[in-house]
Amino acid sequence: MTGHPDRRVVPLVYACSGCSNVAQLCNNIALDLDRSGRARMSCISGVGGGVPSLVRLARSGLPILALDGCELSCVAACLGQVGIVPDEHLVLTNIGLRKRQGCDAAEEATALANALVEASLAKLSNEGSSDAVTVASPVCYRELEE
């Protein structure tokens, strides 16, 4: 679990991972957040598919950042299947990015998306309380090890 400092609340991040440029941008941002320890990425298809350990993690009380590439909002829909509304939900096509197949997101699009994610993370950290579940909580490790 390197990269995730103990005793610090970090949000769960769920990302679209479809085949478009905006979908993969969401996935790449989520991976970067996870690898840097600023969020804990979890599997949105497992949540939507009702995998018990992944649904329990989603319901653990950690704040949730949902990153959707387009207006289909598959991440939000998967969370909704188990009665969860994300604390922050970003849809990249709603901020002017164009959904395209067969190419990566442009540098400008990546910079814009990263700036909005940073703002969402700041908002989530300001809303966190000292009573919140931390990444060191057994629920996080137990769920990831199952």
Task: Compute the average pLDDT of residues 66-92.
Answer: 98
pLDDT of 51 > 80? The answer is yes
Q: Dihedral through CA 84, CA 90, CA 92, CA 95, nearest 10?
A: 140
Confidence (pLDDT) at 61: 95
Confidence (pLDDT) at 3: 53
Average pLDDT, rounded, for the chain: 87
Q: What are the respective helix, strand and coil percentages of the chain, to the nearest 5?
A: 45, 10, 40
Rounded Cα–Cα distance for residues 52 and 57 (Å):
9
pLDDT of 90 > 80? The answer is yes
Rounded Cα–Cα distance for residues 146 and 142 (Å):
6
Rounded Cα–Cα distance for residues 79 and 47 (Å):
7
Sequence ranges of the domains in the chain: 12-107+133-145
Confidence (pLDDT) at 82: 97
**Widest distance between CA atoms in the chain:** 44
Confidence (pLDDT) at 136: 39
